[in-house]
Copies of this chain bind each other. A is one copy, B any other.
Amino acid sequence: MPLLPEHLLAGHDTFMAGRYAQEQSRYRSLAHEGQAPETLMIACCDSRAAPETIFDAAPGELFVIRNVANLVPPYQPDSDFHGTSAAIEFAVVGLGVRNIVILGHGRCGGIKAALAKDDEPLSEADFIGRWMSLVDEPAHGVKTMEHMTAGERQTALERISIRYSVANLRTFPYVAEREGRGELSIYGAWFDISTGELWAMDGETGDFRRPAVDRPPSAGG
């Protein structure tokens, strides 16, 4: 068996000749001094929604958690779901990030699974079913919306889920404290895989808007 699949080795060669060569001094500094990312991004595992690509991020810029459906569980010191909580703790308390962005996207397989009725679990252990139960309550409401199309229900739950996760973030004491002191800002965003467009969550209303296109009149232009 090869040490790694050929396409990955080829991709790494391209990286070495291209990006690494251009940013070599940056990589060396980052290795020497340690990472100091300003932003924690919580994104989905989906192969079409990588944060570094979507935001053209440089090394050292984004500390990234990726799980199915970019979920943040509520703060529960003695419950399940520790991996994401551990990474949030590390980013906020250990690294002192200034921003947290929850990045959802269209056509999310996890959200689709949450909306599917009477599906067979993927496995006996049904890890996915239990993970997605984090959004059982809103999923249940959305499923009843028979007047909406399947596509509309999908997008609705993707965005509700982001708002849910933003609220769950605030149940972490150190998140709420730093936000209250103005040291930490929380954002929601939703990426349209087909059009590449980015929608951002209005902190007050929870509505998603496209910064590139849709500004209140006061923003001019």
Contact = CB atoms under 8 A, between A and B. Distances in A.
Interface in A49-94: 50, 52-57, 59-68, 71, 75, 77, 80-91, 93-94
A55 B187 contact: no
Nearest to A15: B56
A205 B54 contact: no
Interface residues of A, number: 134
A194 B125 contact: no
Determine chain A's interface SS by DSSP, over half rule. mixed
Interface of A: 1-5, 7-9, 11-16, 18-20, 24-25, 27-35, 37-39, 45-48, 50, 52-57, 59-68, 71, 75, 77, 80-91, 93-95, 99, 101, 106-107, 109-110, 113, 122-125, 127-128, 130-132, 137-138, 141-142, 144-152, 156, 159-160, 163-164, 173-174, 185, 187, 189, 192-198, 200-203, 205-207, 209-217, 220-221
